[in-house]
Each structure stands twice: as C-alpha cells, then as structure tokens.
Amino acid sequence: MSSIVLFGPPGAGKGTQAARIMEATGLPQVSTGDMLRAAVKANTATGIEAKGYMDAGNLVPDEVIINLIKDRILEDDAVNGVMFDGFPRTIPQAEALSLITTVTHVIAIEVPDEKIVDRICGRYSCSGCGMVYHDTFNPVDSSGCECGNWQEKRRADDNAETVQSRLDTYHQQTSPLADWYMEKGIFHPIDGDRAIDEITGDILIALE
Ligand code: AMP
C-alpha cells in the first residue's frame, strides 16, 4: 500500500484539490479534520476530547489522531492506498504513518500567510457533496451546487480569531515536516496562490 500526502497551511486549498485528485487517481481522501468534525457531531469519546483543541485552533493529541488513522486504513477502500489531507501534522504523526504505509509523494500547497485569513473567512462548502466554495473567489452557482443536493455549511473554526492560532500552530508544529519530507526526496512544493485549475494541473504532473 502506498499513499500520498496533501500538505499545507489551513486555507491553502487542500480540500478543493483533494476532490480533483481523487477523481484523477481514484485514491480515497482521508481528512483527519473531517473525521474529527464527524466525531464531534456524533458526540463520540474522541469528538468530546477533540472539540476543545479544535475550537482553540490547537492540534488534537498525536495519540488520538494516530488511532483514528490506524482504524481508517483498515477499511476496504484503503487497500490500494489513500490520499491524506491534513495529516500528518507533526513529526511523531509522520513517523507513525511511515510504519503504516509508504508515502510516495508529499504535495505541499503553498500560500502566503497574508492571503490565508480572507481565504478561510469566506469559505463554505456543500454538505451534500463536500465541494468547497468561497464568497469571493469561488462562489456557488445561483442554482446551487452541481451535485443537486445543495446545502450550505460553514465551519465553526473558520473565523478570524481561530485562524491566527491555526496558522501559528502550523508554523510551529507542522511546517518542520517540510524539511523532514524534503530529505526523503518526496516533497513537491506547488504555488497555491493561482487559479484552481492551474494548481490541479501542476499537482497531477508532480504525481505522474
Ligand atoms: P482541518 O480540517 O484539517 O483544518 O482540521 C481542523 C482541526 O482539526 C485542526 O485545527 C486541529 O484542531 C484538528 N486536526 C485535524 N487534523 C489533525 C492532525 N493531523 N493532528 C492534530 N490535529 C488535527
């Protein structure tokens, strides 16, 4: 089993690109953020533990995350590998991942900090299909989402106060992983401050 990792700060466009990469490669998207939000909604023990960290823009403890991933990759759809989105976020998570699967590509979507706040604060998605939109940069059609099941969803942590601490957390705890993966020769930086299609094109070239 071999897998790819989508890496980058909050609001870089990982979720948007994940949907497109999934279509091109057939690899299922495994987003620890989505898994945690589902756990919070379902009020599971993991969700109850994770909520405070998420609301504050801090990382959920490694042990919780690694256990979630260990269970997730046992599911049938993961047999040929997966595309991780928002995982790993610390060196211990990356070390644990290396024991579970071979990571062949780390796609790092790079966006400067000063662009992140506007990108996150206007963000929403379709709860019918998960497609990500933005008030200014990528608004949904007036007739709704093309999946036909349009329902607008905004994340509780997509607000100006939490964004800054999510960015600080990213720089302190997650960005050291860039060097860690660069040394392994599998790190592919992609300029994420461009049109969505251009970014997808470069990602697919990097994955070839
Ligand atoms: P995301 O949807 O990836 O932006 O994640 C939302 C929140 O979930 C983050 O701000 C963290 O609190 C938590 N989270 C998601 N993935 C991880 C991870 N790999 N490690 C620790 N915390 C995570």
Q: For 83-104, how does the pLDDT look when each residue is reduced to its tens digit (9 = 90+)?
A: 999 999 999 999 999 999 999 9
Active site residue 123: yes
Q: Evaluate whether residue 47 is within a structural domain.
A: yes
User: What is the length of the chain?
Assistant: 208
152 falls within a domain: no
Q: Is residue 122 part of a domain?
A: no
119 is catalytic: no
**Chain segment 61-85, per-residue pLDDT in tens:** 999 999 999 999 999 999 999 999 9
Is residue 70 annotated as a catalytic residue, yes or no?
A: no
Instruction: Compute, in angstroms, the gap from residue 52 CA to the centroid of ligand 1.
Output: 12
Q: Determine the Cα–Cα distance for residues 167 and 116; give it in Å rounded to an integer.
A: 9
Which H/E stretch holds residue 132?
strand 132-134
What whole-number percentage of the chain has pLDDT above 90? 96
Task: Report the domain count for the chain.
Answer: 1
Task: Identify whether 133 is part of a domain.
Answer: no
Clarify whether 166 is annotated catalytic.
Answer: yes
The catalytic residue among 37, 72, 119, 166 is 166
In a domain, 155, yes or no: no
Range of the domain at 28: 2-112+168-207
Q: Which residues pair with 107 in a beta bridge?
A: 6, 188
Question: Which residues contact ligand 1 via a Cβ below 6 A?
Answer: 10, 32-33, 36, 53-54, 57-60, 65, 86-89, 93, 166
Q: Are 131 and 105 in contact (CB under 8 A)?
A: no
Residue 123 in domain: no
Residue 1 has pLDDT above 90, yes or no: no
- Cα(76) to ligand 1 centroid in Å equals 24
- For 112-168, how does the pLDDT look when each residue is reduced to its tens digit (9 = 90+)? 999 999 999 999 999 999 899 999 999 999 999 999 999 999 998 999 889 999 999
Looking at the CA of residue 57, tell me the nearest atom of ligand 1.
10
Q: Flag whether 144 is in a domain.
A: no
Which among 172, 171, 173 has a CA at the least distance from the CA of 89?
173
**Domain-located, residue 159:** no
CATH number, residue 192: 3.40.50.300
For position 144, what pLDDT does the model report? Answer: 95
pLDDT of residue 172: 97
Q: Which residues contact 87 (CB under 8 A, 6 or more apart)?
A: 5, 30, 31, 32, 65, 69, 93, 97
Q: pLDDT at residue 111 above 80?
A: yes
Q: Whose CA is nearest to atom 1 of ligand 1?
A: 33
Q: What is the mean pLDDT of the chain?
A: 95
- In this prediction, residue 124 carries a pLDDT of 96
- What's residue 2's pLDDT? 87
CA distance 158 to 65: 21
The verdict on whether 72 is a catalytic residue reads: no
Q: What is the DSSP letter of 12?
A: S
pTM, 2 dp: 0.92
Distance 142 CA to ligand 1 centre (A): 31
For 167-184, what is the mean pLDDT? 97
User: What is the DSSP track for 49-93?
Assistant: HHHHHHHHTPPPPHHHHHHHHHHHTTSGGGTT--EEES---SHHH
How far, in Å, CA of 63 to CA of 49, rounded? 12
